[in-house]
Every structure is written in C-alpha cells, then in structure tokens.
Amino acid sequence: MNLFGIIGRSTINFLQVIGRISIFTYKAILSCILPPYYFQIFLKQIVEIGYYSLPVVGLTTLFSGMVLALQSHTGFTRFSAEGAVATVVALSLTRELGPVLAGLMVSGRIGASIAAEISTMRVTEQIDALKTLATDPFKYLIAPRIVASILCLPTLVLVGDLVGIYGGYLVGVYKLGFNSTTYLDQTTIYLQPIDIISGLVKAAVFGFLIALMGCYHGYHSGRGAQGVGAATTNAVVSSSILILITNYLLTELFFV
C-alpha cells in the first residue's frame, strides 16, 4: 500500500467521522428545541446527572481546594506573599479547577453511563423498537440527556466552587494559622462576577459535550458486548479531550 493511499484513506475516514458528529450534533440540537418534550425523562436525568454526581464533585473540589491552599502557601512563602493564598484558591477554583475537575469527573460518571445505556439499547434493538412505536429516539433519549447535562453542570460547579473554597478555608485557618475573617475577606475582595460567570459558562459547554459524546458513541456503537465497551471508552476519552481543548479556547475568550 502506498503512502498516498494511507494518507488519503485516513483523511477520508477522519472527515467522515467529523461529518457524522456534525450531523448528529445538528439533529440533537434540533431535538432539544422542537417538541415533543419528555419532561419525565428530563427530570429523571436531572436526578441522575445532577443529584447523584454531587458527592463525586464535592469530594474532588474539597480536596483540590485543600491541596491548592497548601501548595500556594508553600510557593507564596518564598516571596512573602502568603496573604494571596485565599485569593488564589478562590480564583483558581471558580475560573479553572471547578469546571474542569467537575467536567472530567462527570464525564467519567455520566458520559460512560449514557454511552453504555444507549449502546445497549442499540444492540438489543430497543432503539428500533422506539421507532416502530412512533417515537423519535433523538427526542426521547438524546434531547433530555443533553438539556439536563447543560443545566446540571453549572449547578454542580457552583456547589463545587463553594466546597473547594471551604476546603481551602479549612486548611488556611486550621493548618496554616490564617485569621478566619481575614481569609474570608481575601477570598471575596478580589473575586469578580466574571470569574464565577466564566466558570459557569464553561461548565454548561462541558455539560453539552459530555452528554453529546455519550449519546453519539452510544447511538453509533458496534454490535455486541465489545461494541458497548468501545462506546463507553470512546465517550469518556473523547469528552475528556474535548473538555480540555474547549477549556483553553473558552479561557482565551474570557481572558481579561
């Protein structure tokens, strides 16, 4: 096989995947906008994605906030800037760590679960059964998951931000000996609305990407148990990579 053949075939395959994802995204967005709406499924997804992810996101951000306080204190002590610890913890969590960590954790939990569920339905012909019962799988399966994920991620990030800042506060006050009032003042004084808003916008975009990749890989899964396994892995890997790439692009957008 010649080199040009390999390059050509790879390029065509890559473009085909991009095309399939683009068409899937277009149909998914249309399904989110146009009726019928399945509120019961949507509420179930809110509980599944939002409520059940709270412990995972809470624990992740709590310990991240605590580590951040410890590490930044180590660094700042070297040039006598210990006072900036609280501000750095708050800014890092709201602008960056909160959305990215929550996104990656939810991607592992929810992206995998969505892909496994939908691909199992594909393999066992339940998606075809939906169609024969005059129900559009995009509206019934995909739209509620995407909308729920877009709404849940910012809420999770908001909770994660608070828990993470509290983690930093615990370490700052009880381990590093900061005054409680001073630490809280330092946390809020330099924090601006854009810091929180940019984190929440990122979270909503990550929520969309997680659900979209879970649904896409589940819907287009191969046959059998291997197909389900591959769909789950691909959903988590692709949504994690997309989260990191989109995070940089959005950070540039919000960079002030």
Where does this chain bind other proteins (CB under 8 A)?
A: 124-126, 128-129, 131-136, 140
Q: Would you say 85 and 172 are in contact if contact means Cβ atoms under 8 Å apart?
A: yes
- Minimum Å distance from CB 233 to other proteins? 22
Angle, to 10 degrees, between the axis of helix 193-219 and the axis of helix 3-33?
A: 110
Between 20 and 175, CB nearer to other proteins? 20
- Minimum Å distance from CB 76 to other proteins? 52
- Minimum Å distance from CB 148 to other proteins? 16
Between 133 and 256, CB nearer to other proteins? 133
- Minimum Å distance from CB 120 to other proteins? 8
Between 44 and 96, CB nearer to other proteins? 44
Between 1 and 134, CB nearer to other proteins? 134
Between 38 and 76, CB nearer to other proteins? 38
- Minimum Å distance from CB 128 to other proteins? 6
User: CB neighbours of 31 closer than 8 A, spacing ≥ 6?
Assistant: 136, 138, 139, 142, 143
Between 96 and 136, CB nearer to other proteins? 136
Sign of CA dihedral 86, 152, 202, 101: positive
Q: How far apart are the C-alpha atoms of 194 and 135, rounded to whole Å? A: 42
- Minimum Å distance from CB 141 to other proteins? 11
- Minimum Å distance from CB 10 to other proteins? 19
Between 130 and 237, CB nearer to other proteins? 130
